């Protein structure tokens, strides 16, 4: 097949609270990895209202060009509208690859866009590379995270993929980097809009930002009870970190679901991850194994969590945690 007219990598930039979301900077990092091998340009696509002030930052994190579609109608994410706009941009710029973050919106958008462009899309890849024919190799987890699969989209272009949060590193920011900003004026037909966003209601627990936390203290079933779980909250607070949890803890109702780390929870990559009374099931570790430094406390010396830990403490969490809490308090007071 002749794919010669398809060139360059399009990156869809998500905006949250008028800022570029962390995952979009990671996707730009992943695009840089591919572009350095394929010699392609990275074209970021920014859709929204009053967004021009964000373009310098996007360039400083690796985009060569930023295409802006700035209009009152594009203020809030709307799947129908954003798909239509992105389709028009993809048809005009004919990229070889389109990358998005594997957020709820990114996943919705990638699937719908793939149908419109009659191509394939891959969801939630945690690694990407290029094969000798120029196809992106997308690595994804299957069967509950127990198997990793490599996939390629070899019969159509563009190749579309959403990338897992925290799986890719953003590149070092270069504020001197120059890039081109192209303002596109795209009008879409009213008929194509089937849904209307009336209001965005924030989650009650919006303060739980596991994905961006630098320190996470997670308690597992080994904590024994909701009362004992207070130790996790206390240590997290003292360290300026966030509370994480395994699924059984959520099911027991000790903390709300927004704290869950793992395959069916949040994928995290903090600088420090402290796992207390966590066995280390693959469905949990697949969500935290990108952490920079892992400390695990478990009474079972054969617990799998020790395989991903930098420091392992074999012992009772209910004895170890009060000691740690006291030591941190002393350090803070000194
Ligand atoms: C489709 C699917 C999706 C899933 N998604 C997720 C997910 O997103 N996140 C997730 O976490 N799980 C998920 N799970 C569940 C997962 O398989 C495990 O069951 C779960 O992670 C185990 O949680 P845990 O480590 O808290 O409990 P357990 O496996 O029961 O481990 C408790 C650990 O605590 C230790 N312990 C007990 N008492 C003490 C003590 N006093 N001091 C020190 N250590 C002690 C024990 O030795 C044990 O290792 C999923 C499962 C499926 C099938």
Token output for 212 = 């961006």
Whole-prediction pTM = 0.71
* Any ligand 1 atom below 6 A from CB of 220: yes
- What is the pLDDT confidence band of residue 192, given thresholds at 50, 70 and 90? confident
Which of 3-12, 125-134, 201-210 comes out lowest in average pLDDT?
201-210
Average pLDDT over residues 5-19: 95
Q: Report how far residue 278's alpha carbon sits from residue 321's, in angstroms, rounded to the nearest whole number.
A: 14
Burial of 262 (0-12, 13-18, 19+ CB in 10 A): buried
pLDDT at 205 over 90: no
Q: DSSP assignment, residue 183?
A: E
* Any ligand 1 atom below 6 A from CB of 265: yes
Instruction: Render pLDDT for 64-92 as a digit per residue (tens, 0 to 9).
Output: 999 999 998 898 899 999 999 999 999 99
What pLDDT was estimated at residue 96?
98
pLDDT at 143 over 90: no
Token output for 200 = 């965005």
* Any ligand 1 atom below 6 A from CB of 247: yes
Find the angle CA(164)-CA(44)-CA(1) to the nearest 5 degrees.
80
Ligand 1 atom 48, closest CA:
279
* Any ligand 1 atom below 6 A from CB of 146: no
What pLDDT was estimated at residue 144?
65
Q: pLDDT > 90: what percent of the chain?
A: 82
pLDDT at 99 over 70: yes
- What is the pLDDT confidence band of residue 332, given thresholds at 50, 70 and 90? confident
Question: Which segments of the chain does DSSP mark as H helices, in order?
Answer: 22-38, 55-60, 79-93, 104-116, 226-238, 247-251, 282-285, 317-333
CB atoms within 10 A of CB 21: 20
* Any ligand 1 atom below 6 A from CB of 264: yes
Ligand 1 atom 47, closest CA:
300
* Segment holding 332, helix H or strand E: helix 317-333
CA of 203 relative to ligand 1 center, distance in Å: 26
* Any ligand 1 atom below 6 A from CB of 33: no
CA distances from 299 to 31, 217, 231, 274, 302 (A): 43, 17, 17, 15, 9
What pLDDT was estimated at residue 38?
96
Q: Report how far residue 161's alpha carbon sits from residue 99's, in angstroms, rounded to the nearest whole number.
A: 5
Mean pLDDT across the chain, nearest whole number? 93
CB atoms within 10 A of CB 257: 15
What pLDDT was estimated at residue 204?
55
At 159, is the secondary structure helix, strand, or coil? strand
Greater confidence (191 vs 165) lies with: 165
Ligand 1 atom 28, closest CA:
279
Average pLDDT over residues 31-42: 97
CB atoms within 10 A of CB 329: 12
Which atom of ligand 1 is closest in space to residue 246's alpha carbon? 11
Token output for 134 = 């120029």
CA of 204 relative to ligand 1 center, distance in Å: 26
* Any ligand 1 atom below 6 A from CB of 298: yes
* Any ligand 1 atom below 6 A from CB of 279: yes
Give the mutation target among 216, 217, 280, 284 for probing the ligand 1 site: most ligand atoms within 8 A of CB.
Answer: 284
CA distances from 251 to 3, 263, 288 (A): 49, 15, 19
- What is the pLDDT confidence band of residue 285, given thresholds at 50, 70 and 90? very high
Domains of the chain, first to last: 9-192 (3.40.50.620), 210-333 (3.40.50.1220)
- What is the pLDDT confidence band of residue 31, given thresholds at 50, 70 and 90? very high
* Any ligand 1 atom below 6 A from CB of 162: no
pLDDT at 201 over 80: no
Task: Please check whether residue 263 is in contact with residue 145, taking contact to mean a CB–CB distance below 8 angstroms.
Answer: yes
| Residue position matching structure tokens 């954003």 | 82
Instruction: Render pLDDT for 250-272 as a digit per residue (tens, 0 to 9).
Output: 999 999 989 999 988 888 999 99
Ligand 1 atom 39, closest CA:
222
What pLDDT was estimated at residue 145?
67
């Amino acid at each position: 097949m002749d794919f010669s007219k398809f060139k360059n990598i399009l990156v869809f930039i998500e905006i949250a609270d008028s800022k570029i979301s962390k995952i979009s900077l990671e996707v730009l990092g992943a695009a840089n990895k591919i572009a350095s091998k394929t010699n392609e340009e990275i074209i970021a696509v920014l859709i929204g209202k009053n967004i021009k002030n964000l373009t310098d930052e996007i360039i400083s994190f690796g985009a060569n060009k930023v295409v802006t579609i700035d209009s009152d109608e594009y203020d809030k994410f709307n799947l129908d509208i954003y798909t239509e706009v992105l389709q028009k941009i993809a048809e005009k710029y004919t990229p070889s690859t389109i990358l998005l973050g594997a957020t709820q919106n990114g996943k919705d958008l990638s699937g719908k866009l793939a149908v419109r462009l009659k191509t394939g899309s891959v969801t939630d890849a945690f690694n990407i590379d290029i094969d000798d024919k120029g196809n992106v190799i997308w690595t994804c987890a299957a069967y509950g995270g127990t198997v990793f699969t490599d996939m390629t989209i070899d019969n159509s272009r563009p190749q579309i993929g959403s990338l897992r949060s925290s799986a890719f590193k953003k590149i070092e920011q270069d504020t001197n980097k120059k890039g081109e900003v192209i303002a596109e004026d795209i009008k879409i037909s009213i008929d194509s809009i089937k849904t209307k966003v009336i209001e965005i209601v924030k989650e009650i627990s919006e303060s739980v930002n596991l994905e961006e936390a630098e320190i996470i203290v997670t308690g597992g079933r080994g904590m024994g009870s909701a009362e004992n779980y207070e130790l996790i909250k206390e240590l997290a607070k003292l360290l300026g970190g966030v509370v994480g949890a395994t699924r059984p803890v959520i099911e027991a109702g000790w903390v709300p679901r927004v704290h869950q780390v793992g395959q069916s929870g949040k994928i995290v990559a903090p600088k420090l991850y402290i796992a207390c009374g966590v066995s280390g099931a693959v469905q949990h570790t697949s969500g935290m194994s990108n952490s920079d430094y892992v400390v695990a406390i478990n009474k079972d010396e054969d617990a799998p969590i020790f395989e991903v830990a930098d420091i392992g403490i074999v012992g009772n969490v209910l004895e170890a945690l009060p000691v740690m809490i006291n030591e941190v308090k002393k350090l803070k007071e000194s």
